[in-house]
Amino acid sequence: MHAQTSDPSSPLSLLTREIHHHRRLRHPHILALYEIIATESSIYLITELCTGGELFDYLVEKGRLSMGETRRVFGQLVLGVAHLHQSGVVHRDLKLENVLLDERVNVKIADLGFGREFEKGRWMETWVGTLGYCAPEVVAAKRYLGEGLSLLHTGRMRQVLTLAPRGRHLVAWRHPVHAPHGLAAVRRRRRGDHEGEDPQVRVRHAYLARRG
């Protein structure tokens, strides 16, 4: 691999953090990493099997969850996030697509590439994550607290679990733009600068650009 580790969103940086965090985190609702296999050209992560797929796809297939199932799924998610925080780690990219499900539909938090160790009360400045879930502070390029970011992310997921449109209409809610490029587009639009911006992306940013 020739990726630069100085870029927090480079493939090598993401993989390095992913391995680092998963090696030391052990919890029923955090994806377990069992083994790492490295060859000359590839690195393979052997994790526990999650035949239920992503929570996002589960919602698309099943539709809005009942209150009982929402309480169970969200409760497991909160337990996993609490363990992350107790271990001094903030995920920073919590979203439906990064929550996997096992064969019994138990939550497994995955994709810790943007995860970072933190100190309680200490501000963060790196703008990472998925635009559709971003906190206002991140969109505005301001400092933020890691634990507060997790609260906002889990709150948005809780809202989608009970209020999201049913079936394939939920697919339209998926936001494909990731930081830092997506955030940069939002900030340009706030300044009235649309040069070089994809019209379809402009439409997806419209709501966030009007806020705050």
Q: pLDDT, tens digit, for every residue of 32-81?
A: 999 989 898 888 889 999 999 999 999 888 877 888 999 999 999 999 99
Paired sense of beta strands 144-145 and 33-38, if any: unpaired
Instruction: Give pLDDT, residue 205.
Output: 35
Q: Which residue has the tokens 């992503």?
A: 54
d(CA 50, CA 100): 6
**DSSP symbol at 137:** H
d(CA 91, CA 146): 8
Q: pLDDT, tens digit, for every residue of 72-101?
A: 999 999 999 999 999 999 998 899 999 999
User: Residue 117 is inside which H or E element, if any?
Assistant: strand 116-117
Of 53, 120, 59, give the one whose Cα is nearest residue 90: 120
Of 96-110, 171-185, 197-211, give the lowest mean pLDDT range: 197-211
Instruction: Give pLDDT, residue 99.
Output: 96
Of 112, 93, 108, give the one whose Cα is nearest residue 50: 108
Catalytic residues: 93
**DSSP symbol at 30:** B
Q: What is the pTM of this model?
A: 0.73
